[in-house]
Structure 1
Amino acid sequence: MYTISNIYCITAIAVIGGGLFGFDISAMSAVIGTDQYREYYFGDTIPSDVQGGIISAMPGGAFVGSILSGFLSDRLGRKYSIQIGALTWLCGCTLSCASQNVGMLIVGRFVNGLAVGNCSAQVPVYITEVALPEIRGRLVGCQQWAVTMGIMVMFYIAFGCSYLAGTKSFRIPWGVQMIPAAILFFGCMFIPRSPRWLARKGRWEEAEDVLALLHGKGDRNHPHVKKEMEDIRSMVALEKNNSDATVWELFQGGPMLMRTHIGVFAQIWSQLTGMNVMMYYITYIFKMAGLTGSTVLLSSSIQYIINFVMTIPALYFVDKIGRRPVFLAGSTLMMIWLFINAGVMASYGHAAPPGGIDGIPAASWIVHGPASKMLIASSYLFVASFAATWGPAAWIYPPELFTLRTRGKAMALATCCNWIFNFALGYFVPPAFQNIQWKVYIIFGTFCLAMTLHVFFLFPETAGKTLEEVQDMFEQRVPAWKTNVKSRGSSTPASDVEGSAGASGSGTPVTDKDEYRLSQERPGAVEHLDKVV
């Protein structure tokens, strides 16, 4: 069978798995404010806790799906794991589209979540393992771009269907979501398997063939192919054994525990920015800002365009300036817009009548006049800040942190933490808007402040480094604020520490990093490496 060799085409197929989540977001956010949806499932009023349960069913399923993905990925490979996710998504969409009541809708969304959790965990792993270091960030970041594209495209489909009478207004959008999953499933038949996964399974000939296809135009003797094969061989030789990693292994030892902690929190913080709250419940927020009718949906669509467009420059500069500056700038800007929203609502708004606006108790606050325009503007600026920073970077960063053996399980763990927080927030936000109103923004603004401090002190720079060099950086315990982007062609050791004389910080020059590290950390391993290579 024909195998695609262009890395950008491979990425375009794989990231459809990320786009599934985007389709889900807008297929719900554009529907929950319509009369047809409310009348069919609820009657006159949408209970906040029930709507929160419907929204959170998807991330609840994604939590389970991301855990299972680690075992699937290690056993079957990244490519087949993604294909299983596509088939699961088709089943979930069928259930949602045919749902006759709230219970059936929740089950359908939970099954959709299994697919999203699987794909969101393993697509970044797959792209990380096939991409060159200098473009790895932008390629993995394409997953977030696919999410934003899915959000934007599906929102306008759902918006157009909102003018249809009866259940067609929401069943058609939920059914259309099956198309990208079908494309993903069949497209995966034409992309190569991960060369690093193949190497882990001892399939060295296949691994070298894939590297030659991707990075050497079919030439196994291409310098980059030979160098990458050497790195992979040395990494496999460093592994204690050839068995698959366990989840417990991620919590053993200082360097490994540090990587696990950072990878998990990169995903947790991306949820605690409040971005997905803005995506799912933006129609509620704009109702509180005084917008009515179709104006609510049209105004909401602007943020989806902003989200899509602002992700594009991030794909360029995340490899140029590094992950740390992107994280720090994003959390600081989002904190500012959240506190502005809280101040505007507290100073110029008032409580809505009992029962909320248009039968939605979560729309519990009213802001009119110029203040409402400020609320809408700062909401747009918040979305732009997230899209250009944490949106792509939170998916790029975690898979770069881990070793070959642990990457599949580690990304499953990090992603399941993302989804459990997504689940909790999806369920928490409607009652929170109903009960504490504008103070919700204070909570998320405080989270943004905390993540800024956390990133500065503990998140090291990984941009431009090979996956093997990132492991060296953690072993050497380099302080996060002393790490820099490694420029292309640099011979500086993996840590890239300002003013350091050597990677170990001791002033010892390291000319052969593999032999030096092996001889210092694991006596006798160099001889084993020589036999393997």
Structure 2
Amino acid sequence: MEKQLTGTLALAVFTAALGSLQMGYSLGVINAPQKVIERHYAKSLGVYNEELAHRRGGNATEHEEPTDASVVMYWSLSVAIFAIGGMVSSFLVSFVSDFRGRIKGMLYINVLAITAGLLMGLSKLGTPYLMVIAGRAIMGLYCGLSSGLVPKIYVCRCPCYLQVIGLDFLLGNDDMWHVLLGLSGAPAILQSLLLLVCPESPRFLYIKQGKVEEACKSLKRLKGDYDTSKDIAEMQAEKEKAMKEAQTSILRLLRSSVYRQQLFVALMMHLSQQFSGINAIFYYSTSIFQSAGVGQPVYATIGVGVINIIFTLVSVILVDRAGRRTLTIVGLGGMCCCAVAMTVGLAFQDVYSWMSYLSMAAIFLFVSFFEIGPGPIPWFIVAEIFSQGPRPAAIALAGCCNWTCNFIIGMFFPYLEGLCGSYVFIVFAVLLFGFTVFIYLRVPETKGKTFEEIAAVFHRKRGAPLSKPQEEAEMVQLKSSTEA
């Protein structure tokens, strides 16, 4: 069978990628205009210092940190509430995709993204902090659902060409910041229009609905006029395998000792991704660069986006060559060294002026090491270490864990920075060292291995293995469970 890149397939891939693009935009858009938005929050809350702003030429936010605790709280919540939406929606992905299919499911959830964009885009006309927080929460709900409905296309989380429009002379200013936030709903409008001409997923049509003829038509629309028998046979084998192993509920998966090692590894991989401190960089890089003495922190933030793109592409090349475990260990270890270097640069910048360059270089390398392993690998390693029965429940738990940690970092990093000052990244350095050791000792290499081979490794690592009758009895219980 000769596969062809048809126009319909290219359109379908581009349409799916718009969801990832929107997630990247939503994650990073709030970074650059931080000071401008904080000033509008302060005005709305009645704590803005007009006299100080007048003395500084009407722009008190250029070098002034917000002194009022309410501004810090509402700003942190604006950043972090995005993850709450993702946390909730991580348990709804399977229901939405199975209920209406991928195309209709994506059309329905795009309503959320458009609503969120309107709330944020109109926030200047109402109560800014309430409307931005509500919009970010709804956008998080959309992104959590979108990331599960479309194939895992790992794209840069904060595209540099989108960060550019956050510059002060474009949209990151007093007059246009609400437009900058509102544009986060624009990709959903384009995606909705394109989805109307995209074919439904052949796998959904064949495996979930049993529509063989429609699945064949969808395959031919995507790949051209060819013999679909091989693809149909693969889907039939997948369907039969899924029917033999009933899906495991989340509660049963948590109680099971058969998959306890795999679940622990999956959750720790996602903990290592978020508690590495990467979202402290993506959410607060502008203020971090400013603290490091960088003259134009917004431009340095754009540099982070460029590095993000480059090393995301590098990771695509390396992931199937170097192996998942190796790349994760190298990535976490490199991030640990960079966190130490950042701390040194921040601590001694008042003594040595060139330390600001050390801090900036360390941040760039920090992002680079993240993208080659700890960034993408936790998302797909879960599917590699679980069989089809417990896989949906494991992915839901891992997703919830990831979004929860994302919220914790987004919400509490400003307070941690206020408490630790220049030494804030030492906390992440310690965590990264611990995660690196854990991955080295407990996580097997999954590249080129079948699920049975990976499961055998986990069984050997189990400290007190179950007896064969116990294990078989528990497997029967797992297989008899229904989907969560």
Q: TM-score, normalised by structure 2?
A: 0.80
Alignment-derived partner of residue 143 in structure 2: 116
Which deviates the most, 270-279 or 176-185? 176-185
Determine which of 452, 465, 476 is the counterpart of 2:436: 452
Matched AA of 1:303: V
Q: Is 1:219 paired with 2:227?
A: yes
Matched AA of 1:98: L
Q: Check whether the contact 1:59–1:113 (CA below 8 A) recurs between aligned residues.
A: yes
Determine which of 127, 144, 155 is the counterpart of 2:155: 144
Q: How far does the alpha carbon of each residue in 1:434-469 deviate from its partner, in whole angstroms, 9 at most, with x for none?
A: 11113321111122122222223333333346xxx4
Alignment-derived partner of residue 413 in structure 2: 429
Q: Is 1:175 paired with 2:155?
A: no
Query: CA 1:161/1:86 → structure 2, altered by over 3 Å: closer, same or farther?
Result: farther
Alignment-derived partner of residue 89 in structure 2: 65
Query: CA 1:448/1:229 → structure 2, altered by over 3 Å: closer, same or farther?
Result: same
Instruction: In structure 1, list runs of 5 or more residues that go unmatched.
Output: 128-139, 350-365, 482-517, 526-533
Q: Check whether the contact 1:49–1:430 (CA below 8 A) recurs between aligned residues.
A: no
Query: CA 1:117/1:237 → structure 2, altered by over 3 Å: closer, same or farther?
Result: closer
SS at match of 1:369: coil
Alignment-derived partner of residue 339 in structure 2: 338
Q: Is 1:270 paired with 2:273?
A: yes
Q: Check whether the contact 1:335–1:446 (CA below 8 A) recurs between aligned residues.
A: yes
Q: Check whether the contact 1:196–1:404 (CA below 8 A) recurs between aligned residues.
A: no
Alignment-derived partner of residue 473 in structure 1: 453
Q: How far does the alpha carbon of each residue in 1:60-119 deviate from its partner, in whole angstroms, 9 at most, with x for none?
A: 222112222233234333444333332211111111111222122211111111111112
Separation in structure 2 between the aligned mates of residue 452 and residue 402 of structure 1, nearest angstrom: 22
Alignment-derived partner of residue 468 in structure 2: none
Matched AA of 2:96: L
Q: How far does the alpha carbon of each residue in 1:99-156 deviate from its partner, in whole angstroms, 9 at most, with x for none?
A: 2221222111111111111122333xxx2xxxxxxxxxxxx3x3333x343xx23211
Separation in structure 1 between the aligned mates of residue 94 and residue 219 of structure 2, nearest angstrom: 23
Q: How far does the alpha carbon of each residue in 1:463-514 deviate from its partner, in whole angstroms, 9 at most, with x for none?
A: 346xxx42x3354345799xxxxxxxxxxxxxxxxxxxxxxxxxxxxxxxxx
Matched AA of 1:25: L
Matched AA of 1:335: C
Mapping 1:172-321, distance limit 5 Å: 172-198=179-205, 200-201=207-208, 203=210, 205=212, 206=214, 218-222=226-230, 226=233, 228-229=234-235, 231-240=237-246, 245-292=248-295, 295-321=296-322
Shift of 1:291: 2.8
Which deviates the most, 68-77 or 304-313? 68-77
Separation in structure 2 between the aligned mates of residue 181 and residue 480 of structure 1, nearest angstrom: 47
Query: CA 1:104/1:370 → structure 2, altered by over 3 Å: closer, same or farther?
Result: same
Alignment-derived partner of residue 76 in structure 1: 100
Q: Check whether the contact 1:262–1:458 (CA below 8 A) recurs between aligned residues.
A: yes
Alignment-derived partner of residue 13 in structure 2: 11
Q: How far does the alpha carbon of each residue in 1:322-349 deviate from its partner, in whole angstroms, 9 at most, with x for none?
A: 2112111111110110012123333x15
SS at match of 2:35: coil
Q: How far does the alpha carbon of each residue in 1:8-65 deviate from its partner, in whole angstroms, 9 at most, with x for none?
A: 653332232222221123210011033xx23322124363333211111111222112
Q: Check whether the contact 1:18–1:120 (CA below 8 A) recurs between aligned residues.
A: yes
Alignment-derived partner of residue 157 in structure 1: 165
Q: Check whether the contact 1:271–1:422 (CA below 8 A) recurs between aligned residues.
A: yes
Separation in structure 2 between the aligned mates of residue 213 and residue 461 of structure 1, nearest angstrom: 37
SS at match of 2:114: helix
Q: Check whether the contact 1:337–1:379 (CA below 8 A) recurs between aligned residues.
A: yes
Q: TM-score, normalised by structure 1?
A: 0.73
Separation in structure 2 between the aligned mates of residue 378 and residue 21 of structure 1, nearest angstrom: 26
Query: CA 1:188/1:171 → structure 2, altered by over 3 Å: closer, same or farther?
Result: same
Determine which of 10, 22, 25 is the counterpart of 1:23: 25
Separation in structure 2 between the aligned mates of residue 390 and residue 254 of structure 1, nearest angstrom: 27
SS at match of 1:28: coil
Matched AA of 2:137: F
SS at match of 1:438: helix
Query: CA 1:14/1:461 → structure 2, altered by over 3 Å: closer, same or farther?
Result: farther
Query: CA 1:258/1:452 → structure 2, altered by over 3 Å: closer, same or farther?
Result: same
Query: CA 1:369/1:442 → structure 2, altered by over 3 Å: closer, same or farther?
Result: same
Separation in structure 1 between the aligned mates of residue 171 and residue 235 of structure 2, nearest angstrom: 57
Shift of 1:431: 0.8
Mapping 1:395-410, distance limit 5 Å: 395-410=379-394
Separation in structure 2 between the aligned mates of residue 94 and residue 288 of structure 1, nearest angstrom: 33
Aligned residues with identical type, % of pairs: 23
Q: Is 1:39 paired with 2:31?
A: no
Root-mean-square deviation (CA, aligned residues, Å) is 3.1
